[in-house]
Structure 1
Amino acid sequence: MTNPTRKSGALSRRTLLGIAAGAAGASLLPASAFASTARVGAVVPLAGSPTLLTDAEFPIGFFWPPPRRQSTQARYDEIADAGFTLVLGGNDVVQKNASQKILPFAQAAGLRVLPVDDRINQCVPKPGFENDLRAVLEEYSAFPAFAGFRIDDEPVPTEYPRYRMITDVLAAAAPDKLSHFNLVPAYDPAADLRYREFISRYVEQVDPTFVSFDHYPLLKDGTTRPTFFANHQRIREAGLAAGLPTWVYIQSVDHGIMKRPTFAELAWQINMGLAYGCKGIQYFTYWTPGDADFVFGEALIKKDGCQSQVYVDARTINRTYLQPVGRQLKHLKSEKVFHALESPLPLGAVGFASAQSTVLNAVAGTTPVVMGELSQLGGDARRWVLVANRSFKANASVTLTVKPGVAAVSLFDPATSAYGPVPLNGGAFSVSLAPGMAKLYLLAPA
């Protein structure tokens, strides 16, 4: 099956909002507005898109906030101190009173919020439903920290038509607010074709402004799920084909057969997501759930409210690495993703080939790496390469040789948010990486 495409000449919601912001909602749109045109390779969202997708801040969010009894300014300051920028509703922080209570705390801490309110999520389209949705939206829009709504986690396709009608109304009334959905992962290697069809149906029928998914790869027996890279690749392909940014949830709590991640395993999940072009990172979870359906261990905040080692590790990664590197990557286009020095390749991965790379001639070494090549729109000939350690257990060391058209290489320093020159020896430079870590390089043309 090919990547999702749209009918030529029709309007997507994103295009429609650019010419008709403030329209009254789905019931007032022409039938032709529910088909849309592909923007293959688009990276920077269109004007009128949600602020979370268009501004310079890289979204670092999480599921499962502090419970109601812990909804205090101190708790939201603690969230911000860990380097997060975004809070998603959940736990028992749902509905009007609980959701609107946290918005001033979030604002004071410099955070944005995607609350949960069943007046949005459970709305059943009927005569006058647009006015009901806009009334709820107006309530929340009085709070500066409000960034949109978290509408559903892992929605089922039978709900897509209802969600499309809801989000069309919200997008027309407030195009700067995000409607957040998160897609189920593919854990079955035999389900690749079905999963591509599933993503295609979601993009076509819901017409989202971004695509979020989760995939938790780290298992207690020391193995990783074989579908991890295939899942990233399919979401990446769908996002590029539809011109949509992609976000991913990473595993940050032990539950079921999944282990509690170490520092290197957190960083590894993040860097694999960045290498595959993700423009937002979300943690599952922040507060440790007490759900009886699963036995949860320790997330960033334990059930007793104390910080765990995962909090300490996430704080370091978010503040010293992900925030500055994410800002560099947010509005770049993911052109290529290569796995180098790895055999056999994992399911869904593409091996490095000089002929396929825009800027690299060769990769030498004995330790596998994953490389994401990125560019800007508008004919800019510069390229960025994120080189990520394929392993979260061992150091990696490789030598990259650039193509003749590359005149200079510089390395991004997250501590200063500046690029420094990298010496070339016969067109080659060395890269050393700690377990799970990555480095961002800028390759400038002659």
Structure 2
Amino acid sequence: MRLGMLLAAGACLLLAAHARAAEERGTTMLKPEEFAILPWGTTPGDREQLEQIKACGFNLAGFVRPDDLDLVAQVGLQCLVIDGSTHVGDAEAALEDAEVTRRVEALVKRVGNHPAVYGYYLRDEPSAHAYEGLGRWAAAFAKAAPKALPYINLFPNYASPAQMAVPTYDQYLEDFVQKVKPRFISYDHYALMDDGTLRHGYFQNLEAVRKAALRHNLPFWNIVLANAHFHYAEPSDGGLRFQAYTTLAYGARGISYFTYFAPHVGNYRLAPIDQFGNKTVTWEMLRNVNLQIQKLGPTYIQLKSVNVFHHPNVPEGCVGLDTSRFLAEVTGGDLLVGEFEGPEGRPYVMVVNKDLHRSTPFGVRFKEAGPIMMVSAYTGQAQGWGGEQSWLAPGQGMLLFLGRQQ
């Protein structure tokens, strides 16, 4: 009886702490430096579209031209500045230092003090041949605008050695960090296929980037699908949840969606905004997922990723339940579990249903005793876990933590 009362008291204290954090946060969005949510692509200077981007749960407006920065600031967002003078193709990567400095300083002088500027777009999917030059561009921006983020996005692990210009993906990542000295790692991986399957290598890519990020103490961002094209699947609630929650389980500090605006090309379709500038069904689905990230964010950003495992089906290159730091048992469907240390070393786990099509009940047993709590993705507050809360929709994740005995 005494132990039960102490456990209950401890749980109440945890609930109160989470409730205070949620109340203090209110409806304030996560800051990009806490967790970036980016609509990948160039955003037009249209206030209504920018307001819709914010309403969809984004805290960055995408890639924005210098002349449109005032509109971004007016709706309360920041962005990555895109300008032809600092787009670093292979030719620009080979420019002399003096020319790189001249271009960077000219752009920073023009927009560097603008409140909408979060960073500067440099390059998408470079080969390793461009790393030395990109490193010089990144260094020039670091000197001219030390608070702004130079943005470079890397290939996925299904790029060929010829595309990467190195034999392996691990070397591609390591050379990037060593030569460019980035402040974060961003990569893309499009894995949801139109036959209902998951592209082989999705989890291996998360594994590789997470390991590189931890090794160098860098945050990482994942770019995932928000439209259909080629043989990729049309967006669904389950697919969007799956991409977001698997990214969170691996400890990312940013997610980007390719693309927010549908390109006027080929079979591209069902982006959140279509080719005529109108919302699609994807917009509402994506808003729901982004708002879940926003609600979980105040807790999530306090956590340190310490392990990730799969159970019972372990993909090649990943690990299973036997590596778990905190859990003695996991039951249910095909699950992914990200493990985190919270404040004062408190155990947290993000449990994700990897099935894209079917819901599943699940159960966990921590190695330590204590009440199992959850952080609601709809309120951001902590509450007891159990009963109907032990179900996961397709692709859904749930953040649980262990209340300590008093």
Query: Do the structures match in fold with TM over 0.5?
Result: yes
CA distance in 1, matches of 2:272, 2:389: 35
Question: Is the deviation greater in 281-290 or in 99-108?
Answer: 99-108
2:244·2:289 contact (CA, 8 Å) conserved in 1?
Answer: no
Could you tell me which amino acid in structure 1 is paired with residue 367 of structure 2?
K
Q: TM-score, normalised by structure 1?
A: 0.77
- Summarize deviations over 1:130-188 as a string: whole Å, max 9, x none: 24422311211232011110111101111111111111121123221111111111127
Kindly report which structure 2 residues correspond to 1:21-420, keeping only aligned pairs within 5 A, or say none: 57-67=34-44, 71-89=45-63, 99-122=65-88, 123=92, 124-127=95-98, 129-187=100-158, 194-291=168-265, 294-319=266-291, 321-342=292-313, 345-353=314-322, 356-365=323-332, 367-376=333-342, 380-404=344-368, 406-420=369-383
With over 3 angstroms needed to count, the CA separation of the structure-2 counterparts of 1:438 and 1:334, relative to structure 1, is same
Aligned residues: percent identity? 28
| Deviation at residue 265 of structure 1 after TM alignment | 0.6
Instruction: Name 1:40's counterpart in structure 2.
Output: none
With over 3 angstroms needed to count, the CA separation of the structure-2 counterparts of 1:147 and 1:349, relative to structure 1, is same
Question: Is the deviation greater in 326-335 or in 166-175?
Answer: 326-335
Question: Is the deviation greater in 172-181 or in 149-158?
Answer: 172-181
| Deviation at residue 295 of structure 1 after TM alignment | 2.9
Higher helix share: 2
| Deviation at residue 261 of structure 1 after TM alignment | 1.5
| Deviation at residue 129 of structure 1 after TM alignment | 4.1
CA distance in 1, matches of 2:52, 2:31: 26
With over 3 angstroms needed to count, the CA separation of the structure-2 counterparts of 1:240 and 1:386, relative to structure 1, is same
1:260 aligned counterpart, secondary structure = coil
Could you tell me which amino acid in structure 2 is paired with residue 349 of structure 1?
C
CA distance in 1, matches of 2:62, 2:47: 16
Q: 2:396 aligns with which of 427, 431, 437?
A: 437
1:127 aligned counterpart, secondary structure = helix
Question: Is the deviation greater in 258-267 or in 415-424?
Answer: 415-424
Q: TM-score, normalised by structure 2?
A: 0.85
Could you tell me which amino acid in structure 1 is paired with residue 385 of structure 2?
V
* Structure 1 spans left out of the alignment, 5+ residues: 1-51, 94-98
What is the number of residues matched between the two proteins? 369
CA distance in 1, matches of 2:241, 2:285: 9
CA distance in 2, matches of 1:202, 1:56: 21
1:411·1:439 contact (CA, 8 Å) conserved in 2?
Answer: yes
1:222 aligned counterpart, secondary structure = coil
1:400 aligned counterpart, secondary structure = strand
1:147 aligned counterpart, secondary structure = strand
Could you tell me which amino acid in structure 1 is paired with residue 359 of structure 2?
N
Could you tell me which amino acid in structure 1 is paired with residue 280 of structure 2?
S
Alpha-carbon RMSD across the aligned residues, in angstroms, is 2.5
Could you tell me which amino acid in structure 2 is paired with residue 218 of structure 1?
L
- Summarize deviations over 1:211-241 as a string: whole Å, max 9, x none: 0111111111222111111111101111000
CA distance in 1, matches of 2:248, 2:167: 24
Could you tell me which amino acid in structure 2 is paired with residue 220 of structure 1?
D
CA distance in 2, matches of 1:167, 1:362: 46
| Deviation at residue 53 of structure 1 after TM alignment | 11
2:97 aligned counterpart, secondary structure = coil
1:125·1:162 contact (CA, 8 Å) conserved in 2?
Answer: no
- Summarize deviations over 1:374-432 as a string: whole Å, max 9, x none: 1147xx2202111111112111212111113x4332210233321123379xxxx9731
| Deviation at residue 194 of structure 1 after TM alignment | 0.7
* Structure 2 spans left out of the alignment, 5+ residues: 1-28
Could you tell me which amino acid in structure 2 is paired with residue 261 of structure 1?
P
CA distance in 1, matches of 2:336, 2:374: 17
Runs of 4+ in structure 1 displaced over 6 angstroms? 52-56, 188-193
Instruction: Name 1:39's counterpart in structure 2.
Output: none
